[in-house]
Amino acid sequence: MQKLCFIGFGIVGQGLAEILVKKKEELKKKHDFDFQVVAVSDFIKGAAYNPKGLDLSRLLELAGDNKISEYPGARTGWDALTTIKECNADIVIEVTYTDIKTGQPAYDHFRAALESGKHLVTTNKGPTALFFHELNALAAKKGVKFLYEGTVVAGTPVLNLNSLCLAGNRVDEVRGILNGTTNFILTNMEGGKSYEEALREAQELGYAEADPTADVEGFDALAKVVILAQSLMGAKLGEEDVDRTGITGISLEDVKAAGREGKRWKLIGQVTRDGAGVRASVKPQKVDLTDPLAAVGGATNALTFVTDLLGEVTIVGPGAGKIETGFSLLIDILTINNI
Ligand SMILES: NC(=O)c1ccc[n+]([C@@H]2O[C@H](COP(=O)([O-])OP(=O)(O)OC[C@H]3O[C@@H](n4cnc5c(N)ncnc54)[C@H](OP(=O)(O)O)[C@@H]3O)[C@@H](O)[C@H]2O)c1
């Protein structure tokens, strides 16, 4: 029986909760996985703790009204750090918002979870990118797992693909479409829209934020590239080591000209082994129509692995979404359950 604690209970946290409610019996039968949610701590939705377990469907109902703190019979009002340190969970699920400049407050949550000997699963890329090696060393020292599949391309299994299915290969390069918003914009520009029109549509559909800087200037993809460089190639590089350019300089004329050459503009995140080192970049590249990445349109993500034994392997899938990202946490939790 795995005891779970949610830190943050927004879209992704509730996505995982819905999966757990729906698949409880199936997970038990097929994967010998049984769980109890003992704590939830969220800023506005509230906090509740019961060492003997909380009803997840009830928590989802209460979250909708920001009334988790009214959960009957539970200890309420604990903030994130108190919950992490004091609760009896085996696994902390950290799904608060991401800050890709400082990693906070999630970095403190991560450290507290690992320091207190609890496994940590997360989709939060800020602290994962910024403090990758330190957090992995802390997890190893404490004898617990730190898993973060959903920090890159949501539930589409890129990190597990590397560690399980491609084990034994040397990965010399990964390159891919790591940001759905920019890919949606570039795809729409191919349909004849200007950058401004395509961005506006992305905002109307909820793909892009009111302030789209993190996506269109490549910062979101940059954090993912740093995680890939560190986790797939063991590189010790920071965000400052990555050559980054966003898509704001790509005009409709550039898109049309690429089409005439049989190419497409894509914002490509790339990590390449370079002798003993590793080079990383995020920049718009004109990819040939024969490249599998060229066929990936809209908000979909994709990553090509260049390997020594298998050649090139491309995985295509969702890079965001409530259930799609919630699933990334489920696979990490099942991995821990199978240890
Ligand atoms: N959504 C996706 O498709 C997706 C995909 C990949 C990765 N991610 C990552 O997954 C994480 C969660 O994303 P999301 O979409 O679920 O975001 P969200 O809906 O904004 O949920 C985050 C939740 O964390 C709570 N929170 C923030 N700071 C907190 C703190 N210090 N203590 C307790 N709770 C706190 C927020 O509370 P209030 O709202 O009450 O302030 C909110 O309910 C983010 O790091 C995001 O980058 C998301």
Whole-structure pTM value = 0.96
Q: What is the pLDDT of residue 246?
A: 97
From ligand 1's centre to the CA of 118, what distance in Å? 20
Distance 304 CA to ligand 1 centre (A): 28
Tell me which residue has its CA closest to atom 12 in ligand 1.
Answer: 95
Residue 209 is predicted with a pLDDT of 86
Question: How many A from CA of 331 to the centre of ligand 1?
Answer: 19
CATH number at 160-317: 3.30.360.10
- Identify the pLDDT of residue 281: 97
Residue 298 tokens, joined: 């809209």
CA-to-CA distance for 178 and 152, rounded, in angstroms? 7
Describe the crossing of helices 219-233 and 132-142 by its angle, rounded to 10 degrees.
50
CATH 3.30.360.10 occupies which residues in the chain? Answer: 160-317
**What residues flank ligand 1, with Cβ below 6 Å?**
7-13, 41-45, 80, 95-98, 105, 123-124, 150, 154, 320-321, 325
Ligand 1 atom nearest the C-alpha of 105 is 31
Nearest residue (by CA) to ligand 1, atom 42, is 10
- 150 phi, psi to nearest 5 deg: -75, 0
In ligand 1, the atom with minimum distance to the C-alpha of 15 is 16
pLDDT values of the chain reduced to their tens digit, one per residue, 339 residues: 999 999 999 999 999 999 999 999 999 999 999 999 999 999 999 999 999 999 999 999 999 999 999 999 999 999 999 999 999 999 999 999 999 999 999 999 999 999 999 999 999 999 999 999 999 999 999 999 999 999 999 999 999 999 999 999 999 999 999 999 999 999 999 999 999 999 999 999 988 888 999 999 999 999 999 999 999 999 999 889 999 999 999 999 999 999 999 999 999 999 999 888 999 999 999 999 999 999 999 999 999 999 999 999 999 999 999 999 999 999 999 999 998
Pick from 12, 14, 209, 328 the residue to mutate for probing ligand 1's pocket: most ligand atoms within 8 Å of its CB. Answer: 12
Q: Give the strand order in the sheet containing 2-7.
A: 75-76, 46-54, 35-42, 2-7, 91-94, 119-122, 146-147
Question: Which residues are designated catalytic?
Answer: 224
Q: Please give the pLDDT value at position 275.
A: 85
Q: What's CA 337's distance to the chain center, in Å? A: 20
Per-residue model confidence (pLDDT) at position 265: 97
In which residue ranges of the chain is CATH 3.40.50.720 found? 2-155+322-337
Task: Tell me the CA–centroid distance for residue 11 and ligand 1, in Å.
Answer: 7
Cα distance between residue 211 and residue 188, in whole Å: 19
73 — alpha (psi -120 to 50), left (phi > 0) or beta? left
Q: Which atom of ligand 1 is nearest to the CA of 124?
A: 45
CATH of domain 2-155+322-337: 3.40.50.720
